[in-house]
Amino acid sequence: MTTLTTTHAPARYGFRQAGRMEWVKLRTLRSTYYTLLLTVVSMVAIGVVTMANTKAPSPDKAATFDPTNNVLAGVALGQLLIGVLGVLIVTGEYSSGSIRSTLAALPDRRLLLTAKASVYGGMVLLVGEAVAFLTFFAGRAALADGVPRPDLGDAGVLRAVLMSGAYPGMIGLMGLGIGAITRHTASAISSLVGVTFVLPALIGGISGPTVAKYFPTMIAGNSLAVAKPVSDMLAPWTGCAVLCLYTAVVLGVGARLLARRDA
């Protein structure tokens, strides 16, 4: 009599399967839609209101007049919303305990964080670019007669809009990395707010732009979103490179700690 035995090969998960899993989780969270909607509405509203109150420059200030920087003022709030959502994508799983199920399905923790970062980063990059252009055109239309209107063909304007659209995505990925590092919502959000808002204000008040210019919010407001160079601040492409480095370091630390610690 012959006994038949069957063996089941262990399931193999690659980046495609991990990415699909993360996309399903992300699009089924109501907080995703609420946060993105609030980001769009707030950035456009701030840009329109700012431009509606922008006055024509006096002759002695015409050379430094930069309405592009004004219309993109809402990026400061947008980065906070996107960053907090990035935190919640990770810490929410820890607080609910669903991280255990996630790790049971996908034991490769570095692959898990890579999938989370790729899916979330890609989504907020698309949203960020769309809302940056929408804000630019809406704010431009709100300018009063006699105020010079920026055009995408003007020097530095298209670059400023594109970089401002990408900036919230980088902050979102930093939030995701900080969430992986701390695993606690309150501490992660506090760290994010401290680095992006509190520390730049404190250090800027003490030392001026010498150190503060290296903080993300200062880079965004005085380097990325400007069509004309700002003295004592990082050049736009230098600021972009610094932000990319920050993002890579935070995600790298988060991936290392996620792989080494128990769920």
Q: Which residues of the chain have pLDDT under 50?
A: 1-10
Distance separating alpha carbons of residues 51 and 53, to the nearest angstrom: 5
Taking residue 201's Cβ as centre, other Cβ atoms within 10 Å add up to: 13
pLDDT (0 to 100) of residue 262: 78
Distance separating alpha carbons of residues 214 and 200, to the nearest angstrom: 9
pLDDT (0 to 100) of residue 209: 87
Report residue 180 as tokens: 């992986």
**Strand intervals (E) in 116-163:** none
pLDDT (0 to 100) of residue 55: 93
Q: What angle do CA 256, 262, 263 make, to 5 degrees?
A: 100
pLDDT (0 to 100) of residue 105: 86
Burial of 96 (0-12, 13-18, 19+ CB in 10 A): exposed
Q: Are 75 and 167 in contact (CB under 8 A)?
A: yes
**Strand intervals (E) in the chain:** none
pLDDT (0 to 100) of residue 261: 84
Q: Which pLDDT tens digit goes with each residue over 84-138?
A: 999 999 999 999 889 998 888 888 999 999 999 999 999 999 999 999 999 999 9
pLDDT (0 to 100) of residue 2: 45
pLDDT (0 to 100) of residue 177: 97
Distance separating alpha carbons of residues 172 and 170, to the nearest angstrom: 5
Grouping H, G, I as helix, E, B as strand and the rest as coil, residue 32 is: helix
